[in-house]
Structure 1
Amino acid sequence: MKRAVVLMAVLMAGRALGQEAGSGEAGEAARAGGGGGRPVTWSVRVPTELGFKADLDNSAGSVTVSRVGAELGVGIPIATMAQLELGFDYEYSRYEFSNATGFVAGVNSPWQDMHRETVKARFMQQHDMRVAWLVGGSIGLSHEEGADLGDSIYGSAYGGATYQVNAKLKIGGVLGLYTRIEDDPWVLIVPIVDWQIDDQWRLTNGGRPGLALYYTPDPQWTLSLSSWFDSRDFRLDDKGPAPGGVARDQSMAVQFGATYRATQQITFDVGVGMKLFGNYELENAAGRRIVEVDVDPSAFLSISATVRF
């Protein structure tokens, strides 16, 4: 099951790519014929995800997962048609296990309060009206409360290019390296497709590790149908059921969403969806698997607010 989920992720794109080269202000500057006088831009986003109870498929018990976070970003014009983007993301995840005794004998909850802090950087250059390229990376901590932070480090590095085929179609590719806690890194070659079908419909795999179809009936509203791959590794508490071990959480999500643009600076997003092909792994401090547990499909609600200035 896990291999099938990973294969779908490789085919559909990697999260650390973010927005593809040629998007954002660097791309807009190129299409406008120059980048002089562009201001520094800031953004703050607060995402939340409220999960509903999911039964553990091949083990006793159930789990409910909720997340809340904060994301700060800044875009800095470097030269004509180029931009440096810096960001800091924080995410808190709460895993509410109930009678999940199949992970460790006599233990109802293998892990609970998880934190991720990530620093990101990306440089984008619009070479000409058709070709753009980007390089970037991230480094961060992913851990349970009480874990050794020095053993909780993860990161990524990537580079790629895009080609504007015509006014509506952009294609490209990215090579990315993604480290994992106590496991081999993932090396992915990811295609990029961004197709503006018409004035209202758009199909893209940029921005999230998946595929999204957008419908914009008017300037204030956008509806979307999207699917993406989620993968998180956490270093565990030194005093927990698996001292200094690793928890892995993988799933595919399908979501129907809506975006409301209150002003040019403020947007709100809401979505309802299902988590599919859920899978948990519990490993010891050396990365050796203790147990693997599948998770039944479950519903979730996502809400976020973004301010740009």
Structure 2
Amino acid sequence: MLRYDLIGRRDIRLTQHAPVPEPGPLEVLVQVRSCSVCNRSDLAYYHYYGLREHCAQGCFGHEVAGVVTAVGAGVTRVRPGSRVFVRTPLSTGYAEFALAREISVGVLPDHVPFEQGSILQLLPLAVHATRGIRLGDRVAIIGQGPVGQMALRMALQRGAAEVTAVDLDPWRLERSALAGADSVHQVTGSAAELAELGAEFDVAIDAVGTPTTLNACVNLVRRNGLVVMLGTHHIDTHVTVDLVTWERKGLRVHSSAEPLDTARAEAMAVAERLVRHRWADLRIADLHTHTYALTDLPEAIERLSASRALYPDGPEAPHSGPPATTLKVAIVP
């Protein structure tokens, strides 16, 4: 089969005759019909391989949708022929086939195109990340890339009374408004500018993952408010926070990580129900902006790499914002 592998910093190689994986117990083999490029992890792994230890450990190409072709012993939720989306596979989705644990697989209804189905990898992540939002909450979301957009949708589904979306890019904020954001704010990204948004939110979600955006969330929430770390700190892995402020405010905090299989299963079950019964509300089609063939993966990576998010807070970034008119890019074998 065809397969792309990340083998070094900014170095991906296409293998023409890679072996097709075989599913073991509680594993499934998926014929990949679409693999979305992760705007954060995949790009961080590509640009920081060898510079950050964890950038050689994650799965490069992990947002998959396709059709189950084989299952291992003990698999009961899906069977060969099932349409599925995958929450982090065991092998790269930049290939004709990918291996995944059964617990990481969600059923994909017939009405969902595969190019949109691969984006659903973000849905159980956002379900779990927004678990602390309560009916009537005022929610601020910093960052309206794909994961921030999904968090916006989940905040609305959970009954937030007011959702404020913040981003560098006015085009993305237009999509946030269409998805139901009550207010949108374009910023340049400075700490002082973010502080001007106010400090009375019940929940503030960092959907970017930099020291500046995390500390901005601390400032935005009320006393005993909730700060959610949804953006991955792949580049700035060490963040300095003012613990006196945290203590004075009595802040609550949680991340988007699903450390236990029970949490993964619960989030996936909710995601499946939302896809089945609330598909129109999710507006996933708004997130899918481009499609590339598998052999054109380097071109897709190049397009997405024109992003300010790839550069730490300190040095001046060569780009002022995200790639123009771009959210999710689907790679189709």
TM-score w.r.t. the length of structure 1 is: 0.25
**Structure with max Cα Rg:** 1
**Which structure is higher in strand share?**
1
TM-score w.r.t. the length of structure 2 is: 0.24
**Which structure is higher in helix share?**
2
